[in-house]
Chains A and B, each alone.
Chain A
Amino acid sequence: MKIYKLMLTTAIGVVVAMGFGTGPAAAKGKLNYYCSAQEDWCQLMAKGFEKETGIKVNMSRKSSGETFAQIKAESRNPKGDVWWGGTGDPHLQAAEEGLTEPYVTPIRGELNGWAISQAKSADDKTIGIYSGALGYGYNADVLKQNNLPVPACWKDLLKPVYKGHVQMANPNSSGTAYTTLATIVQLFGEEEGFEFMKGLHKNINQYTKSGSAPIKAAARGENTIGIVFLHDAVKQAVKGFPIVAVAPCEGTGYEIGSMSIIKGSRNMEEAKKFYDFALRADIQSRALEVKAFQVPSNKAAKTSPKAPKLADIKLIDYDFKKYGSSSERKRLLKKWDDEVKSLAK
C-alpha cells in the first residue's frame, strides 16, 4: 500500500487546499465592498459603516481598472456588492455594459449638480461621490535648479525649455491621462488638441503606466512637471514635498469619482444602506482625516482650505457621456497611438 502514500498525500493536499478557508457566504448583515480610492480612505469608510450599522464589511482595494476587470469577469456569479471610489469612466463603462444596478438615493437633493448629472447620464446606475480638477504640479526646487520659468497654462508646457521635464501617464493605461486627452480635445477642438498633444510629446520624458506616478516622481525630484489631478499634487505638497499645484489658465477638465451597486449583488439591502451612508455630509467630511483633498459631492460636506476649490478653477463643460463611451474612447486612443505616440521625440 505504501506506493500510494505520496499520491494520497498530494491528492488530499490538493483537496484540503481547495477547501482552505471559507467559501462565499450570503449570511445576513454582510457587505462585500470593492474600493478604488486610496487605502486609508477605503478603511475609514469600511470601519465607519461597520461601527454605525453592525454590518460586517469585507473590503478589497484595487485600482478602478482592476476592479472593473474583476466585476466584468465575475459578472455571471457576482461576488461584490458595492463599488466605491475611483474615477468615473470605468463606472460609466460598467453601467454601459449592464454590470451595475440602478438606484436612486433618498438624499439626492443634498448633492452637487455634477454628481446628479453623472447619475443621470448612466440611468442612475452610478453616482458622483467626489470630484477633482485636472492640472499639473511642478517641483519648485528642481525648476529653480534648472533655471526654468514657472508655468501657468497648458500652452506653457509646449515651450522648448521644458524638453525632457514633463511627465504624463499613458492614456491607454491610465484613466487620468485619458481624462487629460479628452480635456485637451474638448478645450482646443479635436484638430488643434491633437497638435497640442504632438507638441507636448516632444517635451515628455516618459509616459508612465499609472496616473499619479508623474507627480510622485516629481515629488522625489525624479521629474519636474507632472500632469495629474490637482488633489494628487496637493497631497504631495501637504506631505512636505516641494510641489506646487497649477490650475491651467485656459481652463481644465475634471473627474467625478463614483459609486455603483453591482448587479446581482447578494446583499442588496446592505449595499443600498452603504450607498446612502457614503453620500451623507458628515461621512464625506471625514475624507479630510486621511488627507483626501477631492471636492465632496454633498454640498454640506466640509472641505479643507488647502484643497483646490472648483469654484476658483475655470472648468470646462466636460461631456462625460460622450468621452466615457467605449467607442469614443477607442477612437481617441487609437488616434493618439497612431499620430502622437509613434512620433519621434
Chain B
Amino acid sequence: MNRTVLLWLTIGLVSFLILPWYVIEDGFWGLEWLVDGYPLDPDYGPAWSQIMTGGKVWLSPIPLFLLLPFATWGRPKTDPLYSRILLISGMGGLGYILLQAFTIGIAGWEFLVLESLFDPIDRQYGMGYGGLLVSAAFLFMITQGVAARGVINGDVFVVSSIGLISAIVVMFIFFPVSRILISALQDNEGLYSVVAFTSKISHYKIWGLGCLTSNVGCGAAWNSLFLAITVGLTTTALGLVFALLATRSGFKHRKLLRALTVLPIITPPFVIGLSLILLFGVSGVVTQFVGDLIGVTPGRWLYGMPGILLAQLLAFTPIAFLVMIGVVEGISPSMEEAAQTLRADRWRTFTTVSLPLMRPGLANAFLLGFIESMADFGNPLVLGGDYDVLSTEIFFAIVGAQNDQGMAGVLALVLLGFTLSAFFIQRRWLGKKSYTTVTGKGDSGFHSALPNRLKWPIYGIAGSWTAFTIVIYCMIMFGGFVEVWGLDHSLTFKHYITAFSVDFGEHGILWEGSAWNSFWTTITIATIAAPLTAGLGLLTAYVLVRQKFRGHDIFEFGTMLSFAIPGTIIGVSYILAFNVPPIELTGTGAILVLCFIFRNMPVGVRAGVAAMSQLDKSLDEASLTLGANSFYTFRKVVLPLLRPAILAALVYSFVRAMTAISAVIFLVSAEYDMATSYIIGRVENNDYGLAIAYCSILILVMLSAVSIFQFLVGDRRLGRRSQSPAKSPAQQSPPNTEEKFA
C-alpha cells in the first residue's frame, strides 16, 4: 500500500477518533476542551462520541468511507480496482460530509422541503479540527485515485496540487461569491424575478451616455471602463520605463528607485488622495501658486476623472514595475547579441527583439492595472466628484441609503464581465508564441544598453515621476507633524503620541496609544497571509504553465476570479457565506487571513506565470531525466529561478494585507480590528493628522518588511546579468567571480 495513502488515512482516522469534530467556542488554539468534559461533552467530542452520545447519528457513515481504502492493501497501483477504491472512498466521503453539512444547520434542517418530509433533527455547528482534517484526508484520497489512473502521467504531486487548489478556490471564492451573485436575480422581497433583473441591468445609471452629448454624467460602466483602460495602458508604460531604467541604464541608485516605486503601494489610498487635494485642490498649494502666477485660478479639475486617474497612476505603477522588472531582467542577452551580430542597431534590436519578448510582462502588467483600477475604491471615494464608477456604486448600493443588495449584485456582474473580457483579450494577444529566454544553455552576456533615442525620454519620464512622488510623500510626512493639516501648521508630535505612546508600568510595557491594538493585529495577519499567498500563487502558476490537463483554462479562470471582484463584494459575500455552518469564521482573525490570501493570490499567480513562461521547459526535463521527481524539480530548479516573482508575491500580499480597505471593513470585528479601518474612522472624523501619523508608521513597517523579504528570498542569478551592463569592461569583475559565489 502506498505510503502517502497510508499517511492521509492515519490522519483521517486519528481526526475522526480523537479531535473535536465541531468548532470550539473559545477558539482554535484554546485547549480548554481537554480538561472540560472531553471526550463525552457534546461541545468538544470527536466524531465517534458525537454519534454514540451526542445524538449526531448522521455522522455514522463516515468511518465506512475512511476504512474503505484498506481494501487496496497489497494491490499494485496499476490495478484498476486500486484507483476505483480510492475514488469511491474519497468522493463518497467528501460528498457525504458536504451533504450533511449543508442540509443540517444551526436550526436543524436547512430546507423547508426536508423539514416537511422528516422529523425534526438535532442542530449542528460548524466543522472544527476533526471535520476539516477528515475532509482533507478524503480530498487526497481522490487525488491519489486520479493519479493512479494515469492522469498527468500519474504525477501525484501535480494531481494533488490541482485538487487542493481547486478545493480551496471553490470553498473560498466560488461558494461565497455565488451567494451574492444570486442576489442579482432577486427582487427586493428576495423572490427570483427576471423583470427586476433586466430593469436593473439595463439601467441608465450603468449604461447612460449622457456625457457625450451634454454635461450629465455617463453611466458608471462606461466611466469605469474608460478609466481602467487608461490606467492599464499608462501604468504598463510607466512600469516598463522604470524597469528599463533599473536594469539597463547603468543607473546608480537602483535600490533607491525600487524603494521609491514601492512607496505608493504601501500607502493607504486615502492618503494619496488627501495630499493630492492639498496640492491641486481648489485651495491647494499648487493651485494658489498657479493662480498668483497667471491670474486665473484653476477650478475643480481634480475632482472627477483626472484626480482618480492621477491617484491610481501613483498607486498602481509600482505593481506594473514589479511585474515588468522580472521579465525585463529575464530576457536573454544572447538573443539581443545575436540580433546585433546580424547588424541590427540598438533601436532595431530593442523594438524587434527585446520588446516582443516582453509581451508576457506587458500583458500581465496591463491586466493587473486594468483590474486594480476597476476594483479600486479608496481613490474614487475621495477624488471621484460626480464621476461615478462601479466599485463605489456597489459599495453604496449595499451600505447606502438605498440598501439594494440586488443592484449591488447586478453591478458586480457588469464589473466581472469587464474584467473577464480583459482577461480573455489578454490571452488572445499573447497567443501561443514562445517567450522562453532562460534556458540551460551557456548564457554569459550582458544586456545591451538602451538606445539613445530611448534613454533620454526614459530618464525624463522617470525623473519627473520620481520628483512628483517625492513631493507627495513630503506632503504626507509633513501632515503627521502639524496640528491641523491645511489650517494650523505649527509643528507637534501629538498625533504620534496619541496613537503610539508607550508607558513602562509595574507589569512591563504598557501599550497606551490608541492605535497599538489594530497595529499588532494588522502585522500578525499580514505576516501570516503573505507566505501563504505567495506559496499558493506560485504553486498555481507552476501547475498552469508547466502542466497540460483537461479543464486547464477553467482552472486558470477560477484562480484569477477573486482578483476581478471588488473587495466590497468579497467582504459581504464572506459574511453571508461564513457566518453560518458548515464553516463558521466571522469574528475571527482567520476570515481576514483567508480573505487576503484569496484576494491577493492572483498577483502571485500572474507574476509566477509571467516569469515562468520565460523558463525553458528543458530545464525541468533535464532535472526529471536525471531522476528527480516533479516536486524536487519545482523546489530546486524552478523556484530559485522565480525569486523575483516570489518577492513580488510576498511583498504584494503583505502590503495589501496592510492597506486593503473595502473588503476588510466588513470583516473586522471588535477583537480583530485592522489599521485601515481605524484610519478610515479618523479620516471620517476629519482627523487627518492622526490618520497620517499612523500611515507614516505603517509605511516604515512595510519598508522594513520589504527589505526583510528581499533578504530572505535573495537575488536570482542569471549568468552575469546581475552586474551592471553599462560598466566599462575595465571595471568589470573577472568573469569567474560569479562561479565562486554560485
Contacts and interface: CB of A to CB of B under 8 A. Distances in A.
Interface of A: 1-7, 9-11, 13-27, 32-33, 38-40, 43, 57-63, 65-66, 68-70, 73-74, 76-77, 79, 89-90, 93, 142, 164, 170-175, 177-178, 205-207, 209-210, 212, 216, 219-223, 236, 239-241, 326, 329-330, 333, 337, 342-345
Interface in B188-240: 188, 204-205, 208, 210, 214-216
Nearest to B683: A216
A79 B669 contact: yes
A77 B580 contact: yes
B668 A60 contact: yes
Listed from nearest, the 10 A-B pairs whose CB atoms lie closest are A19-B28, A58-B670, A221-B283, A22-B27, A21-B589, A65-B399, A173-B396, A173-B400, A3-B631, A39-B681
9 contacts: A19-B29, A20-B528, A21-B671, A68-B399, A73-B572, A164-B299, A210-B684, A240-B488, A345-B216
A221 B282 contact: yes
A344 B216 contact: yes
A39 B694 CA distance: 15
A212 B593 contact: no
B334 interface: no
B576 interface: yes
Contacts of A171: 401
Interface residues of B, number: 100
Nearest to A5: B631
A23 B23 contact: yes
Most A Cβ at <10 Å: residue of B277, B401, B536, B677: B401
B386 interface: yes
A3 B579 contact: no
B400 A58 contact: no
B96 interface: no
Contacts of A333: 401-402
Interface in B515-536: 525, 528-529, 531-532, 535-536
A193 to B, nearest CB: 17
Contacts of B102: none
B151 to A, nearest CB: 16
Contacts of B205: 337
Given A17-B590, A18-B132, A21-B589, A74 B401 contact: no
B294 to A, nearest CB: 18
A62 B398 CA distance: 14
A70 B575 contact: yes
A15 B399 contact: no
A306 to B, nearest CB: 17
A170 B387 CA distance: 12
Contacts of A206: 300, 303, 385-386
Given A174-B400, A241-B487, A343-B216, A23 B579 contact: no
A79 B677 CA distance: 19
Interface of B: 3-4, 7, 23-30, 106, 129, 132-133, 136, 156-157, 160-161, 164, 168, 188, 204-205, 208, 210, 214-216, 277-278, 281-283, 299-300, 303, 381, 384-386, 392, 396, 398-403, 484, 486-488, 514, 525, 528-529, 531-532, 535-536, 539, 572, 575-576, 579-580, 583-590, 593-594, 597, 629-632, 634-635, 665-666, 668-673, 677-678, 681-682, 684-686
Given A1-B4, A68-B403, A206-B300, A236 B684 contact: no
A65 B385 contact: no
Contacts of B681: 38-39, 61
A5 B583 CA distance: 26
A223 B283 CA distance: 9
A23 B24 contact: yes
B401 A79 contact: no
A300 to B, nearest CB: 28
A15 B686 CA distance: 40
Given A22-B671, A24-B25, A329-B401, A222 B132 contact: no
Nearest to B165: A10
A14 B585 CA distance: 13
Given A10-B536, A23-B588, A344-B216, 10 more contacts: A1-B3, A9-B535, A18-B585, A23-B28, A39-B684, A69-B572, A79-B579, A79-B669, A177-B401, A209-B384
B398 A69 contact: yes
Contacts, number: 256
Contacts of A13: 531-532, 535
Contact of B401 (A10, A22, A175): A175
Contacts of B23: 23
B402 A344 contact: no
B665 A3 contact: no
A216 B283 CA distance: 13
Contacts of B514: 43
Contacts of B299: 164
A5 to B, nearest CB: 8
B26 A23 contact: yes
A20 B588 contact: yes
Given A17-B532, A23-B584, A39 B589 contact: no
Given A25-B25, A79-B669, A206-B385, A3 B630 contact: yes
A127 to B, nearest CB: 21
Given A13-B532, A18-B590, A77 B106 contact: yes
Contacts of A7: 157, 160-161, 164, 539
Contacts of B396: 65, 170, 172-173, 209
A207 B386 contact: yes
A32 B672 CA distance: 13
B575 A172 contact: no
A83 to B, nearest CB: 13
Nearest to A174: B401
Contacts of A76: 106, 579-580
B590 A20 contact: yes
A206 to B, nearest CB: 5
Contacts of A219: 487, 686
Contacts of A172: 396, 400-402
A22 B399 contact: no
Contacts of A24: 25, 584, 586-588
A239 B686 contact: yes
A59 B589 contact: no
Contacts of B684: 38-39, 63, 210, 212
Contact of A216 (B300, B587, B682, B686): B686
Contacts of A60: 668-670, 673
A153 B575 CA distance: 45
B281 A73 contact: no
B213 to A, nearest CB: 9
Contacts of B677: 61-62
A40 B164 CA distance: 45
Contacts of B24: 23
B401 A23 contact: no
B401 A20 contact: no
Contacts of B215: 344-345
Contacts of B484: 239-240
A98 B413 CA distance: 29
A62 B401 contact: no
Given A18-B590, A21-B589, A39-B685, A2 B400 contact: no
Contacts of A93: 403
Given A21-B671, A73-B576, A220 B401 contact: no
A121 B584 CA distance: 36
Contacts of A74: 575, 579, 586
Nearest to A220: B486
Contacts of A77: 106, 579-580, 584, 586
Contacts of A39: 678, 681-682, 684-685
A170 B30 CA distance: 47
Given A17-B590, A65-B400, A93-B403, A22 B532 contact: no
Nearest to B631: A3
A330 B528 contact: no
A10 B532 contact: yes
B132 to A, nearest CB: 6
